[in-house]
Amino acid sequence: MVMTLDGRITGPDGRSGTISGPADRDVLLGIRRFADAVVIGASTFRAERYRPMTGRADTREVRLAAGQLPAPRLVIVSASLDLPWEEAAFSDSAITPLVVTVAGHPREVLDRAEDRADVLVAEGSTVDAAWLVAELETLGLRRISCEGGHALLESFAGAGVVDEWDLTLSPLAGDRRFEPLDQAAQDGFLFTRYVRTHP
């Protein structure tokens, strides 16, 4: 995840890319490089307009040799199934995306979803994060990168299924940019100092 100094996880356009930068994008791609699955919420998918998951040419052979799929599988959690089904992520990904939803949808809504993606239905009105991780593991998707949004990350944290957090602190606050002066770590806490740049 990337977060600004004032706690925002998206820019004014509702997307994380506007608070990110080249170094942060390199980290994101590095994490995805050998992930089996990239899990996101429906709001994140709608806002970020995820591109097809095709896998990088320079890692495809390495992934296949390790018994992995040629690219990460996109997993979208959507209780409503109100998704932009025309997005290329559904038609052009190397592996058919998996949409995870809840029970009770009319047959025509499920049919539309199943026409564009594989669909996994959770019992009840919510998708339990521990259940989701267990289901993905049964599909051979053990290296899971959860990219948000906030509610999905909170559910993963609450379920105790997170093994690693990767957080980038963006040097932005409001419409101002700051530069780091100093940092120190103690007892697991990271202390940083930033100063506003001019103008």
At residue 199 the predicted structure's pLDDT band, cuts being 50, 70 and 90, is: low
126-173 residue pLDDT tens? 999 999 999 999 999 999 999 988 899 999 999 999 999 999 999 999
Residue position matching structure tokens 């990110």: 20
Q: What is the mean pLDDT of residues 73-87?
A: 97
Rounded Cα distance, 45 and 99, in Å: 11
Q: Which domain holds residue 162?
A: 2-196
Compute φ and ψ for 36, nearest 5 degrees: -85, -35
Residue 95 has pLDDT above 80, yes or no: yes
Beta strands in 48-143 (DSSP E): 73-77, 98-102, 118-122
Contact, 70 vs 55, CB < 8 A? yes
Contact, 173 vs 7, CB < 8 A? no
Rounded Cα distance, 142 and 73, in Å: 11
Beta-bridge mates of residue 77: 41, 100
Across all residues in the chain, what is the average pLDDT? 95
Instruction: Tell which residue, 89, 51, 72, has the closest CA to residue 143.
Output: 72
Both tokens of residue 8?
A: 């925002």
Looking at residue 154, its pLDDT comes to 95
Q: Return the CATH number at 118.
A: 3.40.430.10
Number of folded domains in the chain?
Answer: 1
Instruction: Tell which residue, 75, 131, 72, 129, has the closest CA to residue 99.
Output: 75
Residue 84 has pLDDT above 80, yes or no: yes
Contact, 7 vs 1, CB < 8 A? no
Rounded Cα distance, 36 and 33, in Å: 9
DSSP summary character for residue 18: G
Percent of the chain's residues with pLDDT above 70: 99
Q: What angle do CA 56, 59, 65 make, to 5 degrees?
A: 135
**Cβ of 77: how many Cβ atoms within 10 Å?**
27
Percent of the chain's residues with pLDDT above 90: 91
Position with higher pLDDT, 14 vs 38: 38
Residue 58 has pLDDT above 90, yes or no: no
At residue 198 the predicted structure's pLDDT band, cuts being 50, 70 and 90, is: confident
Relative to beta strand 2-4, strand 37-41 is unpaired
13-32 residue pLDDT tens? 999 999 999 999 999 999 99
